[in-house]
Amino acid sequence: MAVDLNAKVVGDALISGLAIDSRQAKDGDLFVALIAERDGHTFIDDAARSGASAALVSHPTSVLPSICVSDTQVAMTALARSIRASYAGTVLALTGSQGKTSTRGFLASILLSMARRMNHNEILVTQGNLNNHLGVPLTIARLRPHHPFALFELGASAVGEIADLASIAQPHISALLNARAAHLEGFGSIAGVIQGKGEIIDHTDPDGTVILNADEPALEQWSARAGHRHVMTFGRQTADVRWTPMSPQDVRLDVQDLAMTVRLP
């Protein structure tokens, strides 16, 4: 990374993760001294006391082994891109105005079950609200070669943000749940939401799969945007996967000639 970023490296350390909160830094972490409302450089001592092994900085420090760059946030994103580029597993990403976190939980459960059948006990999944320009690089830093699947939740409040995040995650499979009148101060209009959420499609592998909500008014627009990518749909009407509520806890799923009832937690 030092060569790629034209960085100055001082000292040696074995790095296995990233941290931007000095209180959460641990052994093996590269503490990223971000400059925002507060200057992360003022917390390098705290990060060292918490156990950080090195620091990514924009001016030299003698507290920890360091990588000095012109912009620490840009460098953190570049590091995440490098890690993602070397990953050989399957990457999934999802976005939407509503239901992202609950859908992420369902998908994570399914993917973990699949992984265990492949004799793997771990997958990578977005934790908490780490779905933004800081959270996605932090999540990718936890990616390991033995993870068969990586699942990213992507959030945004303005046009262009999903494009940035999806270009880092580079999903093989993406899911676009819906577009609602949320964060209109950033998107400008519901048309802006549709455009912005649809950016995940543009950064899905050209030979990958895009999963769309067949009940969404934007379905036709998103389908056209997918180009030659494989499109699968889900919904209550005509869709590849149809779902029908049977009770408050039970949902019937129809997939081609297969029907099953799923009990929700």
The predicted structure's pLDDT at residue 263: 86
- What angle is formed at CA 258 by the lines to CA 255 and CA 263, rounded to 5 degrees? 80
Q: What is d(CA 249, CA 134) in angstroms, rounded to the nearest whole number?
A: 36
Domain shared by 45 and 147, yes or no? no
- Residue ending a domain, among 82, 116, 144, is 82
136 inside domain: yes
Domain shared by 161 and 64, yes or no? no
- Are the beta carbons of 63 and 44 closer than 8 angstroms? yes
Specify the CATH number for the domain of residue 24: 3.40.1390.10
The predicted structure's pLDDT at residue 3: 47
- Residue ending a domain, among 17, 51, 82, is 82
Domain shared by 78 and 97, yes or no? no
- Are the beta carbons of 245 and 232 closer than 8 angstroms? no
232 inside domain: yes
Specify the CATH number for the domain of residue 203: 3.40.1190.10
Range of the domain at 215: 87-263
Q: What's the structural domain count of the chain? A: 2
The predicted structure's pLDDT at residue 4: 67
Q: What is d(CA 199, CA 218) in angstroms, rounded to the nearest whole number?
A: 13
Rounded to 10 degrees, the C-alpha dihedral 206/209/212/217 comes to 30
Tokens 């992360």, residue located: 40
130 inside domain: yes
Beta-carbon contacts of residue 258 (< 8 Å; ≥ 6 apart): none
Domain shared by 200 and 91, yes or no? yes
Could you state, in chain order, the average pLDDT of each consecutive group of 10 residues for the chain (265 residues)? 73 95 97 96 98 96 95 96 96 97 95 97 97 98 97 97 98 98 90 97 99 97 98 94 93 91 84
- Are the beta carbons of 211 and 173 closer than 8 angstroms? yes
The predicted structure's pLDDT at residue 233: 98
The predicted structure's pLDDT at residue 6: 77
